[in-house]
């Protein structure tokens, strides 16, 4: 049995590729623990089947019509949509539903860590990072700052480092610095201010 025979290759493309596209799009939308590709094969086939179930009526309409004979370009364009575009659209719809309040009442939020939830919003913050040894690093998290996302370990880059006054307020930006990178292994807690 040769896996690369055209009929087997067509089955592989039809029942694995849309599912893998959905899985990868979901991982981009909701970063989390990644699994080995071999572990995702059954999921990919299931998601591909869901894709076809949701598109069954357009597929039946196209296959029972004359589009294949009259306009091959549109026929192939439709199947490019089915195989590559629709799986991404389903993920975007699912993301929208999973992040709505009515859905949240009955299911957990799809973002696994508060770190990812907060920093994925890309809002600017005044930040005080307290290290495990009690040292406080203050700075500005804004447009040029960055926070890692799962599955990578938490790290934060603050584009501006600030000096705190005696009362713990932000006094002024430090001179001659391009910011600071802080590793999660050193962090006790983080305070964010708008």
pLDDT on residue 100 = 83
Q: Where are the domains of the chain?
A: 6-104, 114-193
Contact residues for 100 (Cβ-Cβ < 8 A; gap 6+): none
CA 76 to chain centre: 29
Q: Does the pTM exceed 0.85?
A: no
Helix (H) or strand (E) holding 193: strand 187-193
**Cβ pair 128, 160 in contact under 8 A:** no
Rounded-to-integer distance, Cα 29 and Cα 103, Å? 17
pLDDT on residue 107 = 77
pLDDT on residue 156 = 96
Fold of 114-193: SH3 type barrels. (2.30.30)
Residues of the chain with pLDDT under 50: 1
Which residue, among 155, 151, 115, 152, has the nearest Cα to 137 in the 3D structure? 155
In degrees rounded to 5, what are phi and psi of residue 115? -55, -50
């Amino acid at each position: 049995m040769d896996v690369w025979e055209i009929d087997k290759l067509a089955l592989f493309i039809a029942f694995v590729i849309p599912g893998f596209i959905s899985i990868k799009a979901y991982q981009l939308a909701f970063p989390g623990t990644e699994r080995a590709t071999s572990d995702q094969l059954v999921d990919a086939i299931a998601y591909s089947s869901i894709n076809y179930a949701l598109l069954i009526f357009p597929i039946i309409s196209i296959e029972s019509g004359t589009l294949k004979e009259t306009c091959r370009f549109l026929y192939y364009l439709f199947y490019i949509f089915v195989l590559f575009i629709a799986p991404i659209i389903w993920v975007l719809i699912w993301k929208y539903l999973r992040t709505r309040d009515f859905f949240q009442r009955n299911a957990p939020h799809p973002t696994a860590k508060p770190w990812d939830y907060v920093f994925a919003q890309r809002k600017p913050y005044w930040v005080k990072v307290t290290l495990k040894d009690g040292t406080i690093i203050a700075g500005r998290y804004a447009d040029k700052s960055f926070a890692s996302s799962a599955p990578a370990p938490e790290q934060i880059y603050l584009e501006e480092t600030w000096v705190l006054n005696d009362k713990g307020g932000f006094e002024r930006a430090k001179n001659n610095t391009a910011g600071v990178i802080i590793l999660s292994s050193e962090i006790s807690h983080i305070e964010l201010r708008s």
